[in-house]
Each structure stands twice: as structure tokens, then as C-alpha cells.
Structure 1
Amino acid sequence: MVKLLIADRDHNERTGIGWLVNSYAIPFDRVVMAGTIPEVFQIIESEMPDVICIELDMIPREVWDSFKERIKQYKQTIIVMTAEATFERAMQGIELHAHDLWIKPHSPDSIRRVLARCCKAASSAQQDTEIEEGAIPPALSYHSLFLPQKQAADDCWLLLLQLEKTEQQPRLLSFLQDYPFHHAPVLLPLSDMIVSIFTREPRHSLFTMKKIGNRLLQEWEEKFAEPLSLVLYDTKDKSLALQQKYQYARQALEIRFFKGYRQVSIIEDKVDWQIIDPFLTPAEQREWIGMLGDGDRERLKLWMYKEFLNKEEPYPEPGLLRTRLTSILAQVRRFMKSYCLDQGRLEERYHRVFETILYNPILYRIVQEFLLFLYEMLDMAKEYREDARIDIIEQALRYIEENYTNPNLRLEDVADYVARSPAYFSSLFTKRQGHSFRQLVTTIRIKEAQRLLLDRKLSVQEVAERAGFINANYFSKIFKEKTGLTPRMFRNRKKM
């Protein structure tokens, strides 16, 4: 079935070309139309038209490269249209390897000749492809990747290529299609990887195939920044069908969880993952509570590195390690709640770390992201503790200022007011204020007495009582110790 896609922003232009195709009986089996670039991309991928007639002016600059990649991948015949007869538009047509360039308004006769020629060429190419595909051995087809079959595939090498960002896969496919292999492999693109099947030749060895894989990786990285992972599967078991080889090779791609991208992994058998208990033991839970409570960053880092990094074969099953990381995150959650940190920015970071644990393909990145989150959380917990201490002292100072006139005011009374033990409050108060509770109360009372002594109507006894001293004698003694003067001398000096 030969298909034609007509893409133009102008509905009348699209309809007019479609009418010409129908009226001239150009033998396209199906004609589809698009008025936007998203529609064009969707039709290219779902319908895979053989001939595309597209208005250049409708392609935004930011999607130009993506459009070129799709055209290169699906190998359609392109006819470009434009209302601007400029050098730039001509160069765009050349970049797309366009079969023809139409300047609006179009000549109906030219449209007929060009489309008829393109339709005939596409029809012939389809017939040739059907003949070639019929000659491909069943072992080198999509069917053999997914359906269990008895045919052995000992005459094939299997190379799986996977990008970190699978949306860049059309670019990888184009790269492989243009790569100068001595004998080109069969390429079977999937949604998340590309399967390359090399016919085994007498002079090919595992060493030779590894060199091919390393050279592919090196040349890809010279042109593109997107990380690429390769798995070369080889086995001494010649009875394995291609479907079994593919399943084992696909499983081996998970090794990138430990090794990272930009690697060529050689697999000669089914990956034998180590099975571990993913949950923290009671002792490990207590250890984590202690490390978090102490804010010990170095111990946390060493624990995470020892537990998760520098792993060697046989590797733990990646899913179990992800579960173990979420088990640790549960302890962190308890710590956050105890400090009321389960809200705001840190709460958002917590959910991002959880998603990272579940979906990030590289273990090292997960651990680093986890540690950065832990450090930020510990900083906020420290601020919380300091703020709480400041609040306690401020409450205590307000209470003292309101009650210093009570001669029986004790440290125990203030400690009880702020709900702390007397020993803890005394230590914290002295550390934050630089002097003891008793010293502060005395200082406040002396300052109040100095103010009251200015009122000559009040006797020394009355001043002592209002300032919070037990009696006038004790007041006079303390006043002289702190100011160097008796209360009467202080009053007389102020009078002078």
C-alpha cells in the first residue's frame, strides 16, 4: 500500500492537492493530510507514508532537526513547498534530500507528473522490499525476538544498544544505518533499545565483536552527548534460540545500574543476580536513628558508600536494592516528622528522592542525590533545634521580666514554665546568655531599684520590696556589691 501525506497550514492548499491526486487518478492507495507539525510527526510514525508533500514554512526552527531525523529514519520521498523563493528555503530542501521543490502557486501539471513518478517509485521499492524480507531467515526477525522458537541462533552475535533518553533513539538508529560496517547487521528498533544482529563469520571472534562495540561507542560519543550503553551477548550454548539470547541480553542491560552508561558489557550466560534481604534489621534501624540524631554526615556517607557502591559480581538484584533504599528512606521520614520537617521545600525534595530511587537507572546517582537530601535535612534539623532553644530562652526572659518582683522567684519556677528540667535549663540559659539565671535576676532588680531610688517619696524599704528583694538589709548589701554605693549614697549622688 503506497501512502501520501499532504502537509500544509492552509486547508485549501491541502484539499486542492488531494483533489488533483484523485482527479488525475494517481494510484496512491491512501492519502492523509496534516495542518500542524505535531500531526505530521504522529502520521509519520503511525502511518509511515511513502511520499510526503510538506510546506517548509510550517516547520518551526526548534523542531527542524527532529523533523530531519524522522525523515532520515523512515526514508520517505520528500517534496517541499514554499511561498518564499529564497536561498534559505532551497537549502532546506537540499538538507532533506527533497525530490522536488514547489513554489506556490503550484502548476497542476507539475504536481501530476511529480506525484505520479514518486508513486510509481514507491510502489516498486515496496515490491523489492517484500522480496528481500521474504529472504531474511526467520531467526533474524521480530518474531524470533518475542516468540519462543526452536531454531538455534548460534550463527548470530547479539548487540543491544540503549540510550539514557529513549526519545533520542531515532538519532541512534540513523547513526547505525549510516555506520560503515563491513557487513551491516540486521537492526530491530524497539521502544527502549535497538537490537543489532550480526551474522557470525569465520574471522569474527568475541575479541573482534568487542572491538566493534567499543568503536561504535567511541564514535557515537564523538558526535553526541547522550549516554549510550551496549551489551554484547555471546554464549557457548549453541542450542539457544534468538528469543532466549535476547531475553538474557536484555536482562544484562540492568548491569548499567552498577557500572553506568558508556560501557560495553560482554555477557556469556544468563545474569545470576544475588538475592538479598532488602529491609533494614532492627540493629540497622537503631544505627540510622543514632546517625540522624547525631547529625553525623561522615558516618552516613560511609554507611551508604559501603552498602551500595563499589559492588562486584555477582551483583545484587537492582529491584531489591531500590527496595532497600526505600527502607532507609522510611527511617528518614520518621526523623523528618519528629522535627516537623515534612512540609514545604524539604517535603518536595523527599518526594523527588523517592522517585529517583524508583526510576533513576544509575545507582551512583541515586546515592549522591540521597546524600545531598540528607545533608539538607540535617541542616534544617539543626536550625530547628537552635530556633527551639532560642524560643525557650525568650519565653524564660519574658517570664522573668514579669515576675522578678517576686522575692521567691526560683530557677525551678522558670524551668517548669518552659517545660524543661532545671539542670538542662540552667545549662542552656548560661550558654545562651553568658551568665547565670541568678545573675540576670539580680541585674534586673538592681536596675529597677536604681530607677525607684530617684523617687524620694519612697523609702529604701519600699524600694527593696518593689524591686523584689527579701528585705532592706539584703537589698543594701547587694546594691553596694553591684554599684559600689549604698542606696542612700546613690540617691544623694543623683540629687547633687
Structure 2
Amino acid sequence: MPSIMIADRDPNERSGISWLLNSWQIPYDHVYKAGTMEDVFQVLEDHVPDVICIELDMVARSNWERLKLLVEQFRPIVLVMTAEATFEKAMLAIELRARDLWLKPQTPEVIRRVLTRCSQEIVEARNGGRDVRVAGSWSEGEGVTYRELFVPDSQNHREQTLLLAQLEETRHHPALLTFLQEFPFRQKPVLLPLADVIVGVFDTQQGKESLASMQQLARRILIEWEARHDSPLFLVVYEAQDQQKSLSEKYQDASQALQIRFFTGYRQVSVAENVINWKTIDPFLTPAEQRTWVDMLHEGDRDGLKQWMYTQFSYQKGPYPEPGLLRIRLTSILAQVRRYMKSHGLDGTNVEDGYHRVFEIILYAPILYRIIQELLLFIYKLMDVVQRQRGAAGIDVIELALRFMEGRFSDSSLRLEDVAGYVDRSPAYFSTLVSSSLGITFRQLLTNMRLKEAEQLIAETSLSIHEVAERSGFANANYFSKVFKEKLGTTPRMYRNQKKGVESKKNTYL
């Protein structure tokens, strides 16, 4: 009977597969175990097992050439395991001419079926005098291999329809694989499980299915899956209009269609016939958009923020913008939120963790509407904190603004925007804050400061009215006289004469 080596760093994995061999009575007379690469080399050289089941992640780069050499020399059937079935892992398995790929955690049923088939092939080959230990294709079916999926082959063109199945929680993919293996397809596809998606390849050269019927099949899969499981599923049906494309090219096009779920959400079937053409957008906020955000944040305009977000990010149908660009745009918005936090002294406080959590969600959350909801909820929370601090914070801002204005009111070009910028508030918000805190408008506040200075200059100096107006911050002497009379009920010249008369009487009595 054949022999097998189980090589894995995890002793539980080694014991588990060994237990399956015994409990299912799979015919292997010797089961060798290896926990390190030195153990692997020792078993290969001393016992030459017919089948090796090896964890790819345990093979260091320095051991790779030696392992390939021994596999080429002894020609065992190679089965590979990995927790990360990426393109790089797939290429390593191809170099080993691996028969099958197991994505951890793999189901016992798949392990049993594969190991039983390998054992039977070896026994039949020995009886027939043939060596088939490296024969066969690295797939779950005949005629389609992982190599075709990842490596373009210009010589191999077939009419194929792809079905890509992806769960929101990829840890449930083993259950999805079992579900698809047991599903009553009229035409059984080849199933190729990867780290984050299961690829089904339908050979439509014989008895071509229409795209509409494939879409109906996908919907039936979706309905039956959700009747049994809670994990949301997204399906892509892809049939290339250009059937001269290789399977690898078709897979790349279909993989792009998977990103449609970013806009539509899970529990959907997406149909594609070509590569996705994403709409080009500028991912960064314009200066005008930045000002709009600053105003809405400082004014606490929740309805305005919500409406802006829904208008910007509500995509009912294609063409869709490339999801990566939208994530950049969302981080550009988050930068304005960061400025809002800093202007209110909230950076470094207990809301900092919430900020970083939202940043992670923007980068990695798979669904757009969830990102929008989380971002809005975080902004609303910030606004609640600011609202609670508004009393004390408002006084501090006003005091800071008053000190700034007292040193610059003589500048006739001083504007509301200048003072608002100094205290890091939007002009609209700062104007409202002045009115609510002091009971007068910003313009009245600035005019009062200038008139107070003018009164003192008129009473205590011999400067001309024109010079007094200029030093007080009034650009026009006539306007100054008009404002002065409206405020004090007399002209600047008469006010000076009155003050001089009072001073003269004081001197007479003294």
C-alpha cells in the first residue's frame, strides 16, 4: 500500500489528518509526520513516501531549491496546504507540480476524497506497471488547472463561463465550497478555491448555456445558500464576449467585477461580459468643497453633512468610480474632520480611538454605504462633544478673538474672515458665536473698538479729525464722522470742543 508524509508546523494539523486517515480507513500503510523542514528532508530521503501533504508556509526561501530537487528526484504526488492562497502561493505550488491545493481550514470530506483518490491511483499504477505519481491536473475537476487561472496561455482558448463566489466572512469559505460541491448543477463546474473567492469554471463549448440562464442559476445558488447560512454572499457571472481570451484573462476581468459589491452590497448577482471601465474622478476635495466642509462642521449642520454625503456617494448604477479613488476621497473628507477635532482641542482625547477606527473602516470596509454610515455617526458624536463644550469653548474663542482685534482694529482692512481664521473657525460660525456671546454683531464690535479709540484720541491729542479716523481704523473720514455722530450724538469736532470746555472749567476751579 502507499505511504504518505504529513508536513505541517502545527502538531494539531498533523494529528488531525492522521486521525482522518485512520478513522476513514484510507489505505496508507505508513504515515510519516514532519514538523520542520529538516524532518521533511529526512523523511523524503529515508522513506521516499508516495504522497506528501505539505504546508507551503513552512518552506523557507533557503529550503526551496532543495525541496524542488527532492520532489523531482523521487516524484511523489504533492498536495499543498496554505492559509493564504495568493498568486505567489499558487505559483509555488505549480513549481512543485502539486496535484491539489487545500485552503486552511479544509473540510474533512475534501481531504478524505483527495487522499483516497491518490491512494487508488498509486495502487492502480503499480498494478499496471505505470508511474502516475506526478500525473493529473491541479484542480477539483478535469481539464482546468490553477496554472491556467494564473498564467496566460495563448494556445488554450475554450468557451467558458466563470462564476465567482465571495462571502463577506471568508472564514466560511470551506462551508461554501462544500455547498457548491453538493449543489445539483446540470453541468458540473470545476471549482477552484482561493483565499478570498471560489472560482467556478463552466465549460460551455459543449451545450452552451445562455448568459440569462447562468444569471438565473446564480440567483438560485444565492437563494439556497441564504436559506441555510447567515454569511452574506456575492456572486459574479462572467462570460467574455471575446472567447479568444485565455482563462487567466477572463479571471482577471471577472475579479474586477467582484468590486461592484462595494457599491451594491452583498446578497447580489452581478453579470459582466467585459472588463469593468471605471469612471475617472478627482479623489481630492476642491478648495470650495473644503470650505463647505469647514462651514458645515463648525455650524453643526448635520442635515447639510448628511445630504452632501448622500449626494456625493449615492451610486444607483454604473459606470462606477474606481473604489480605490473613492477611499482616497473619503480620507480627504476625514482630513477636514481632523482639523475640526484639533480646532476644538479634541485630538489626543478619548475620541482619538474613534477617529482611527473610522480611518481603518474607510481603508478596508468592503461596502461603501457602511463607510458612509460609520463616518457620519463619528461626526455626529464629535458634534455632540463640541455642543457640550460650547459654553466654555465659546468664551475662550471670544476672548482670543478680542485680544487679536484689540491689537489690529486700527487696520482698516481687518475683516471678519481674518479674525475667524485666527481662532480657526468658519466666518459664519464665528459671527454667530459673537452674536450669541456678546449680543452684538461682529461689525458692531469692531466699530465700538474703533470709536473708543477715537474718543480717546480726540480728547487727549491735537490730531486732526482725518488723522484720528485713520489711526482708529476708519478708512474714510466722512464715514467716521457719520458713525461717530450716530453713536455719540455729536460730531467729532463738537465732541473735542466739549471735552476742551470741560477741561477748561476744571482748570479755572483749580
| 2:195 is the counterpart of 1:191 | yes
Residue 362 of structure 1 is matched in structure 2 by: 367
* Secondary structure at 1:270 match in 2: coil
Is there any run of 5+ residues in structure 1 with no aligned partner, and where?
18-25, 35-42, 51-65, 79-116, 394-418, 432-496
Q: Distance in 2 between matches of 1:129 and 1:175?
A: 30
Deviation at 1:163, TM superposition (A): 1.2
Aligned partners of 2:105 and 2:174 also within 8 Å: no
- How many residue pairs were aligned? 331
1:162 aligns with 2:159: no
Q: Distance in 1 between matches of 2:183 and 2:348?
A: 52
1:216 shift after superposition:
0.9
2:144 corresponding residue in structure 1: 140
* 1:118-161, Cα deviation, whole Å (9 max, x unpaired): 99658448988966539999962111111121135442111111
Among 240, 244, 254, which residue is 1:239 paired with? 244
Over residues 247-274 of structure 1, what are the superposed CA-to-partner deviations in whole Å (9 max), with x where a residue is unaligned?
Answer: 0001111110001111111001110001
Instruction: Measure how far apart 1:33 and its partner are.
Output: 7.4
**Shift of the alpha carbon at 1:172?**
1.1
Identity of aligned residues (%): 44
Tell me how far 1:199 sits from its aligned partner: 1.3
From the superposition, tell whether residues 77 and 271 of structure 1 become closer, same or farther in structure 2 (CA, over 3 Å): closer
Q: What letter matches 2:202 in structure 1?
A: F
Partner of residue 319, structure 2: 314
Deviation at 1:210, TM superposition (A): 1.0
Partner of 2:177: 173
**Cα distance in structure 2, aligned partners of 1:171 and 1:28:** 30
Matches of 1:309 and 1:299, distance apart in 2: 15
Query: Which amino acid is the alignment partner of residue 150 of structure 1?
Result: S
Per-residue deviation, 1:176: 1.2
Amino acid across the alignment from 2:278: W
Distance 1:342 1:121, change over 3 A: same
Matches within 5 A, 1:94-493: 123-124=122-123, 133=137, 140-200=144-204, 201-202=206-207, 204-388=209-393, 428=437
Structure-2 change in CA distance of 1:430 and 1:157 (3 Å): closer
The one-letter amino acid of 2:174's match is P
CA distance in 1, matches of 2:169, 2:251: 21
What is the alpha-carbon distance in structure 2 between the residues aligned to residue 9 and residue 280 of structure 1? Answer: 53
One-letter amino acid matched to 1:72 = E
Q: Secondary structure at the match of 2:237?
A: strand
State which of 83, 102, 107 in structure 2 corresponds to 1:70.
107
Deviations 1:151-210 (A, max 9, x none): 354421111111112122111111111222222111111111111101114252111111
The answer to whether the Cα contact below 8 Å between 1:3 and 1:49 also exists between their aligned partners in 2 is: no
Task: Give, in angstroms, the shift of residue 229 of structure 1.
Answer: 0.9
Verify: 1:30 aligned to 2:32, yes or no.
yes
For residues 283 and 213 of structure 1, what CA distance do their matches in structure 2 show? 45
Please give the alpha-carbon distance, in whole angstroms, between the structure 2 residues aligned to 1:376 and 1:118.
59
SS of residue matched to 1:345: coil
AA aligned opposite 1:31: K
Name the SS of the counterpart of 1:182 in structure 2: coil
Q: 1:246 to 1:302 in 2, by over 3 A?
A: same
Task: Name the CA shift for 1:288/1:426 in 2 (closer, same or farther; >3 Å).
Answer: closer
Counterparts of 1:143 and 1:340 in 2: how far apart (Å)?
56
Following the alignment from structure 2 to structure 1, what is the Cα–Cα distance between the partners of residues 390 and 55? Answer: 58
Shift of 1:372: 0.3
> Does the 8 Å contact 1:231/1:265 carry over to 2?
yes
Are the counterparts in 2 of residues 5 and 49 from structure 1 also a CA contact under 8 Å? no
Gaps of 5+ in 2: 20-27, 37-52, 59-76, 80-102, 126-130, 399-422, 424-429, 441-510
> Offset at 1:243?
0.8
Going from structure 1 to structure 2, the CA distance change for 1:165 and 1:212 (only over 3 Å counts) comes to same
Counterpart of 1:103 in structure 2 is none
- Please state whether the residue corresponding to 2:249 is helix, strand or coil: helix
Q: CA deviation at 1:302?
A: 0.3
AA partner of residue 346 (structure 1): V
Aligned to 1:3: 4
* Residues 49, 76 of structure 1: 8 Å contact kept: no
Q: Which deviates further from its counterpart, 126-135 or 202-211? A: 126-135
Q: Which amino acid aligns with 1:70?
A: T
> Structure 1 350/380 Cα, relative in aligned 2: closer, same or farther at 3 Å?
same
Structure 1 residue 294, shift from structure 2 partner: 0.6
Corresponding residue of 2:82? none
SS of the counterpart of 2:369?
helix
2:139–2:191: 8 Å Cα contact kept in structure 1? no
* Match of residue 478 from structure 1: none
**Conserved 8 A contact 1:28-1:119:** no
The higher radius of gyration belongs to 1
- Mark the CA change 1:188 to 1:426 in structure 2 (over 3 Å): closer, same or farther: closer
Can you list the C-alpha shifts for 1:404-458, whole angstroms capped at 9, x where unaligned?
xxxxxxxxxxxxxxx9x9x989964899xxxxxxxxxxxxxxxxxxxxxxxxxxx
In 2, the alpha carbon distance for the partners of 1:143 and 1:176 equals 22
Deviations 1:260-294, CA, capped at 9 Å, x for gaps? 11111100111000111010111001000000011
Root mean square deviation of aligned Cα: 4.2
Once the two structures are superposed, residues 87-145 of structure 1 have per-residue CA deviations (whole angstroms, 9 ceiling, x without a partner) of: xxxxxxxxxxxxxxxxxxxxxxxxxxxxxx99965844898896653999996211111
